[in-house]
Chain A
Amino acid sequence: MEYLIGIQGQDFVLVAADNIAANSIIQMKQDQDKMFKLSDKILLLCVGEAGDTVQFAEYIQKNIQLYKMRNGYELSPKAAANFTRKNLADYLRSRTPYHVNLLLAGFDETDGPGLYYMDHLSALAKAPFAAHGYGAYLTLSILDRYYRPDLTRDEAVDLLKKCIEELNKRFILNLPSFSVRLIDKEGIHDLEKLMPVGAK
């Protein structure tokens, strides 16, 4: 039902998420932000079971901030991803697992941009592009075909638009708008929301 996508370029990561908060068959909210800012250069995109998403994401967010307060420096995206994975894995075999799918995107001074894919079984993989949700079935092949490691920002946004147009055409659910953000060495930038119009 929900959709997340991330595309890594040479010196940036582009991420997008849909904006619908649904409950059964009803859209409760059309402007829900599914991205959580872990630090100045790390974003966590979180979808999954209602309630679990926000609870888990905010838990990770506050712990990352606590680390910074205690130690005086921020966790790198790789460290943050592994920390998140460890927490998810620990809860997985408790009686109260969190059922969430995540994308973690960040920019590191030394390693450059990074996109990490994590699923509800707490499998972590660093990937050049990734997507979550039913929409991923429709768009991963587009990403496979057109992705290049040396994409510019505009080309990456165009690739993102291609994916969203495909969703608009073929996906049974109406996802009217998507929040888009870009992370580079300057930090997190909000790009304008993508709203596919009509079906072709």
Chain B
Amino acid sequence: MALQDVSGFQDTPMSHRWNTPASLSGSVPFRCDNRHTSLSSLSTSSSLPTRRPFPLSHGTTTLAFVFQGGVIAAADTRASCSGLVACPTAQKILPIHSHLLVTTSGSGADCMLWERILAREIRLYQLRHGRRLSITGSAKLLSHMLHPFKGTDVSPVSDRCGPKLFYVCSDGTRLQGELFSVGSGSPYAYGVLDGEVRWSLNEEEAISLAREAVYRATHRDAYSGNCVDLFHITAQGYLNKITDQFLQKVREINHWPLFTESKGNACRDGGADTGCGWRGRE
């Protein structure tokens, strides 16, 4: 596979633990040394993880919850780098295929890398086995791939055969649940969500609740802010539901796809060859 050769990625990442794997080309930032960094390249740090008393160090607010109409995923769009807003219109929710989204928090480069690797592995699975890998399987695959590495934080959000939501962390944790929020703004988001999320919400209520939770978190957390990015996944696929005119305009100007169409062809066009443009054989 072209991508595998270019990245030099070996099929057995388990043999490399803790140290910078020689097989991954480029500098892969290993551990978040800075407390609040995302979408910035970090220098490779020491291989021993230090224990912090309060390690909520990812400068972001992302959340997702399951309700009767599918799954809602929301995130802020601020990419911070130790006190500087590196990008006010970052995209923290990345689609893998029409029914699987990944919300990312932590080191931006790591998140992009793992998102691509995951998309590649899922596509390979589909080519080899003739059916799409289930959400549970995708989450398990990601958690096994991540276990040897520490320093990133990627939380897939998904819907297939009924909505499912997994929290996957770079240290190998994998939890299934109905409501998760990740990042430095997550306690504030939990405060809003815990009281109000119910299975019986309708779509409008769910969307406005998700937006409100991110808004409240961005109000209090310095490292979250700017706009709110929102996705809604149903059995038909995902839909981008941003209502922020500014964000929409920025994305248009930069020719980023808006992902407003649903169904199988809602994957990204152009850019990375990570399974975009392909349709699942269902």
Contact = CB atoms under 8 A, between A and B. Distances in A.
Interface in A2-30: 21, 23-26, 28-29
A26 B187 contact: yes
B171 A51 contact: yes
A32 B19 CA distance: 31
B241 interface: no
A26 B186 contact: yes
B177 interface: yes
A28 B172 contact: no
Interface string B50-67: 000011100000000000
A59 B212 CA distance: 42
Interface string B171-209: 111110100100000110010000000000000000000
B263 interface: no
Contacts of B56: 24-26
Nearest to B56: A24
B169 interface: yes
B167 interface: yes
B259 interface: no
B55 A50 contact: no
Contacts of B17: 95-96
Interface string B134-166: 000000000110011000000000000000000
B9 interface: no
A17 to B, nearest CB: 15
A65 interface: no
B174 A54 contact: yes
Interface residues of B, number: 23
Given A24-B56, A26-B186, A95-B17, A52 B148 contact: no
A23 B18 contact: no
A96 B175 contact: no
A51 B173 CA distance: 4
Contact of B172 (A24, A26, A51): A51
A28 B148 contact: no
Contact of A32 (B175, B180, B186, B187): B175
A24 B54 CA distance: 6
A49 interface: yes
A169 to B, nearest CB: 26
B175 A29 contact: yes
A28 B180 contact: yes
Contact of A50 (B18, B47, B169): B169
A28 B175 contact: yes
A152 interface: no
A25 B55 CA distance: 9
Given A24-B55, A25-B187, A55 B167 contact: no
B73 to A, nearest CB: 16
Nearest to A32: B175
A91 B148 CA distance: 13
Interface string A87-100: 00000000110000
Interface in A43-93: 49-52, 54-55
A28 B167 contact: yes
Contacts of A52: 171-172
A52 B173 CA distance: 8
B226 to A, nearest CB: 23
A9 B148 CA distance: 40
Contacts of B190: 26
A32 B143 CA distance: 17
Nearest to B19: A95
28 contacts: A21-B173, A21-B175, A23-B169, A24-B56, A25-B54, A25-B56, A25-B187, A26-B56, A26-B186, A26-B187, A26-B190, A28-B167, A32-B175, A50-B169, A50-B173, A51-B143, A51-B147, A51-B172, A51-B173, A52-B172, A54-B143, A54-B174, A55-B144, A55-B172, A95-B18, A95-B19, A95-B47, A96-B18
In the complex, the 9 A-B pairs of residues with the closest C-beta atoms, listed nearest first: A51-B172, A51-B171, A96-B17, A50-B173, A51-B173, A29-B175, A55-B172, A24-B56, A50-B171
Given A50-B169, A50-B173, 7 more contacts: A24-B54, A25-B187, A29-B177, A51-B143, A51-B147, A54-B143, A55-B147
Interface of A: 21, 23-26, 28-29, 32, 49-52, 54-55, 95-96
